[in-house]
Amino acid sequence: MANEKGTFPVLEMMCAMCALSVEQGVKAMKGVKDASVNYASNTLYVEYDPWQVTPDSMRHAVQQLGYDLLIEQDHPQEKQEELQRAHYRKQLHKTVGAWILSVPLLLMGMVFMHLPFAPLSMMVLCLAIMLLFGRSFYVNGWKHARKGTANMDTLVALSTSIAFLFSLFNTLFPEYWLSRGLEPHVYYEAAGVIIAFVLLGKLLEERAKGSTSSAIRKLMGLQPRTAFLVLEDGEQEVPVASLKAGSVVSVHPGEKIPVDGFLTKGSSFVDESMISGEPLAVAKKSGDKVWAGTINQKGAFYFETTAVGGRTLLGQIVKMVQLAQGSKAPVQHKVDRVAAIFVPTVVAVSMLTFIVWMVWGGENAFSHALLSSVSVLVIACPCALGLATPTALMMGIGKGAEHNILIKDAVALEEMCRVTAVVLDKTGTLTAGHPSVTDMNYAKSEGATNEEETLFLKRVLLGAERQSEHPLAQAVVEAMEQEGISSLPVSRFQSVTGEGITFCYEEMNGWAGSLAMMRRLVPNPSPTLLATADQWQQEAKTLICVGLDDRWLLSLAVSDAVKPTSQEAIRQLSQQGIEVHLLTGDAEQTAVAVAASLGIDHYRASALPSDKEQYIIDLQQKGKIVAMVGDGINDSQALARADVSIAMGKGTDIAMDVAMMTLMTSDLLLLPQAFRLSRQTVRLIRQNLFWAFFYNVIMIPVAAGLLYPFTGFLLNPMLAGAAMAFSSLSVVLNSLRLRWIHL
């Protein structure tokens, strides 16, 4: 039996180290060929031999590690979203509760520390914060300690525990220090506020991550739940899940097509923009293929099903989005990676400090050893390291929002500065996303245009096009209405398949359609109109010829117009050293015309969703860091596969859900601004991390007593706490500089 592949939601993960634990635990199981955990989407992608391992056994293994696996087959994404919302509410309550107790604790520790019973009151408040709201840090820290690993939870648990226990000793036995001429300081406020800050960071992280499962759920929602099955005695509405290959299904005007198949009776126009990105509806007749999730227009037809369920093109898109998201490396927080080395190092330095002081400390060896070792742990508290990245990211996200750049995944800000190639969808990204009349050309008689005849022709044309079901008719109607033209009533309207329309007004026969239709009806066409028509076709515009009887009087060019700012945006991207690629579901001629007009050297035409994803993969295999910009459902696979995914705000909800970043307006000039924002933000992150590490490199030896033999200076835990607070403040102030940086 062939290996099976699956994607399962993972519950209860708190950090990237948790994701690594789940991944390693599942990989170690016999029969598992490959496994990867995406911490951003909380999902496990696994390839396994069903004869040797089952989803139930994988769930049991994950539960043994302290997490859980959702293996339900019915609506697993909805279940995961429900559990994640419950988890977010729990985190919110813990964060609010911790801050409610931390504010009075901080005031007592900084202002009212000499009041009677202040130390006991602070002890109670701090203990309540630790047990009620910070319990997960100690539980997770203990789990990692048992496995010989460490993360930020370990550092939080260790530093706050030492600070609390040392403060508790000073509260219960102050005479120990007083008898030695030292003041018994307490550090309850440091322990409590650290927990409150870290909880706030976790809450913001959960909110920023969001739920990628909602994108999958919306993709699945494109398929209707019921279909009209054609039986011998008529039509019967049945669940889509009951359809089988070979069933005959009826589709009414305006309905979504439930499964893949081919027409057996009737004709219509079908909106396939979700598949191809092409804004024009496609004419369908007997024998033509139709796809699940596409939208029927005004006609009705029967079709025979060829693929159902996960085998439909829509089902394959859903599966590929899941696999693309699951194949990404887990989002490893810089601080968590560093903590795996940093925490044991700090503990070792603290223990070494205690030993050195006990051996060479003289008569006050124990007191100096205890103070110095605790100072090392307090001054190495993770606030500066913990704030270094998120504060810069939060400022970057806020700065982006001010400029209509909505950043859903903060990782995008870190990755964008590394991008070497950007892939742009055409429809809705470079172009407006809907057909419109871009040009008109009138026949001239005796050297001048007859304005009355032209106006009359437009009024008659408007009356006819309002009766047409063709997608181009709406573009013509909108153009005429924008000119304030009123329509004239026409009679004997008829649609000529593949050519255009015919109609009558009083005694005149009118027509509007393709160049082939014009050549059939007009014996001597105007050379001027022919020349213009040829030019428009070379520019990949759709030509509509309009005339009365055997005269060709008017030409209209319809196309999806390029946005005014697209060319400037591409020029700025090129100046930034980013290679620009164009992907479109349109024909080769259209792709060539758009690429030439915008100065794009790399393009691919007639690209289906799977082709777009493969194009991204090919670029990545060449060593390029790829950003994808799109606006449609047909872009969702490529967006999920790209290193950085960017959606246009006027596009579909699904494209925006899959994407890490959304440009909230249709102005493509926001794209080069987003790249500049990324570079500025990453520069701040690197500065913050440098100062956070520099602070620890300098201050930990000072806290250990390195200066004592030379200057007699010994850093006590109170000053260590103040130094720790100063380092955090410096990181925050550095991040705030982004407010005044011009994009």
Tokens standing for residue 531: 């020349």
Question: How far apart, in Å, are the Cα atoms of 153 and each of 112, 156, 342?
Answer: 30, 5, 12
C-alpha neighbours within 13 Å on the C-beta side of residue 203: 19
C-alpha neighbours within 13 Å on the C-beta side of residue 309: 6
Tokens 């550092």 found at: 155
Could you list the beta-strand ranges (E) of 232-340: 234-239, 248-251, 260-271, 282-284, 289-290, 295-296, 300-307
Question: How far apart, in Å, are the Cα atoms of 108 and each of 99, 100, 178?
Answer: 14, 14, 21
Instruction: Please state whether beta strands 508-513 and 542-548 pair in parallel, antiparallel, or not at all (unpaired).
Output: antiparallel
* Cβ atoms of residues 471 and 281 within 8 Å: yes
Q: How far apart are CA 161 and CA 144, in angstroms?
A: 16
Tokens 């009075």 found at: 104
Q: How far apart are CA 306 and CA 4, in angstroms?
A: 23
DSSP letters spanning 149-172 = ---HHHHHHHHHHHHHHHHHHHHH
Tokens standing for residue 228: 């009209």
Helix or strand (DSSP H, E) at 254: none
Instruction: Please state whether beta strands 421-425 and 282-284 pair in parallel, antiparallel, or not at all (unpaired).
Output: unpaired
| 567 Cβ contact partners less than 8 Å away, ≥ 6 residues apart | 597, 598, 599
Question: How far apart, in Å, are the Cα atoms of 239 and each of 224, 302, 305, 455, 698?
Answer: 9, 17, 14, 52, 68
Helix or strand (DSSP H, E) at 555: strand 551-559
DSSP letters spanning 619-637 = HHHTT--EEEEE-SGGGHH
**Residue 227: phi, psi to the nearest 5?**
-145, 160
Return the bridge partners of 554, or none. Answer: 442, 546
Helix or strand (DSSP H, E) at 667: none
Q: How far apart are CA 29 and CA 48, in angstroms?
A: 10
Q: How far apart are CA 441 and CA 454, in angstroms?
A: 10
Extract long-range pairs of 69-73: CB within 8 Å, 24+ residues apart: 69/8, 69/9, 69/10, 69/11, 69/44, 70/8, 70/9, 70/10, 70/11, 71/8
- Return the active site residues: 425
Return the bridge partners of 542, or none. Answer: 558
Q: How far apart are CA 496 and CA 159, in angstroms?
A: 80
Q: How far apart are CA 392 and CA 600, in angstroms?
A: 34
Q: How far apart are CA 436 and CA 389, in angstroms?
A: 46
Instruction: Please state whether beta strands 289-290 and 260-271 pair in parallel, antiparallel, or not at all (unpaired).
Output: antiparallel
| Coil vs helix vs strand at 263 | strand
Q: DSSP code of 513?
A: E
Q: How far apart are CA 23 and CA 37, in angstroms?
A: 6
Give the length of the chain.
Answer: 743
